[in-house]
Structure 1
Amino acid sequence: MTRTIDSPCVGICTLDADRQICTGCLRSIDEITSWGRLTPEARQRVIRDLPARRRATSSGA
């Protein structure tokens, strides 16, 4: 049985042009556009990386 991994989209779809990531979900444009084609494992990797991206964004890195 394949488990569905929900999108981390929060409905705040604004692109940070410098970082090329969405300011709402912190995914890259490539991650967003390919989400429907990613394997569950690849989706889990993206989701696992989001907290570190949020910390980096919060710290101004």
Structure 2
Amino acid sequence: MVVTERLRARARQVLEKDEREPVPSPCQSICSMDAKEGLCLGCLRTLQEIAQWSQASPQDKRQVWQKIQSRLES
């Protein structure tokens, strides 16, 4: 799936960057929640992760990206 591959590549890029770099949002403008998994189909974040993104520290944002990467692997 193109969306998954794009998200995988973005996760790799974000996590390889220097920790002082700004952390981009994983949003891909495909905002639809999977009711069973509780994850957005576009970015693989939970509703809580999405809601807290704008207030999250760079470290917390990188942790979300790590979770996304783990979700892609499972």
Structure 1: gaps (5+ residues): 57-61
Partner of 2:34: 16
Instruction: Establish whether residue 47 from structure 1 lines up as the match of residue 58 from structure 2.
Output: no
CA deviations 1:6-61 (Å, max 9, x no partner) are 100111111001111101100000000110001100000010121220222xxxxx
TM-score (norm 2): 0.67
Aligned AA for 1:28? Answer: T
Answer 1 or 2: which has greater helix percent: 2
Moved segments of 4+, more than 3 Å: none
Structure with the bigger RCO (C-alpha within 8 Å, sep 6+) is 2
Structure 2: gaps (5+ residues): 1-19
Give identity over the alignment, percent: 33
TM-score (norm 1): 0.79
Partner of 1:59: none
